[in-house]
């Protein structure tokens, strides 16, 4: 495994570890105020990135495009912004980062959907 698939899998594993640590801290402190941020970190970081990595590993030609690289960059930036943004919103601070992170995250998914759709077209040729 190399390239984009490798990056996605390593990132997914790192996000899973951070998410687990986050969950352990919440459980130990009996304070689950930030459980929404924890859940989003696990879903967007661990699950989504692992699925992206699986796709790019299974269909290596898909990972060799500019669209794929842009997708992973946007998805990563979205994750990095949405998680602290959700935490800030839950704590009564600004919702701005959560909104920006959400928009980047959905753009990342749109880019992934576009990559999958265009790959299907090129495989059918």
Domain total in the chain: 1
Q: Over range 42-58, report the average pLDDT.
A: 95
Distances (CA, A) of 87 to 6, 10, 22, 34, 92: 29, 24, 12, 6, 9
Provide the pLDDT confidence category of residue 123 given band limits of 50, 70 and 90.
low
- pLDDT band of residue 119 (cuts 50, 70, 90) is confident
Interval 54-84: pLDDT, tens: 999 999 999 999 999 999 999 999 999 999 9
Please enumerate in sequence order all residues whose Cβ is within 8 A of that of 37, keeping only pairs 6 or more positions apart, or say none.
Answer: 22, 83, 84, 86, 87, 90
Q: What is the pTM for the complete model shown?
A: 0.88
Please compute, for residue 114, the number of CA atoms within 13 A of its CA located in the half-sphere on the CB side.
14
The range of the structural domain enclosing residue 75 comes to 3-124
Report the first-to-last Cα separation within the chain, whole angstroms: 26
């Amino acid at each position: 495994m190399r390239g984009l698939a490798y990056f996605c899998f390593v990132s997914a594993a790192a996000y899973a570890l951070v998410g687990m640590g986050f969950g352990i801290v919440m459980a130990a402190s009996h304070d689950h105020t930030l459980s929404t941020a924890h859940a989003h970190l696990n879903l967007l970081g661990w699950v989504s990135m692992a699925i992206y990595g699986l796709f790019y590993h299974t269909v290596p030609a898909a990972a060799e495009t500019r669209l794929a690289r842009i997708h992973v960059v946007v998805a990563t930036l979205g994750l990095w912004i949405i998680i602290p943004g959700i935490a800030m919103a839950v704590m009564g601070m600004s919702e701005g980062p959560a909104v920006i992170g959400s928009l980047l995250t959905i753009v990342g998914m749109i880019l992934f959907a576009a990559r999958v759709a265009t790959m299907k077209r090129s495989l059918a040729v």
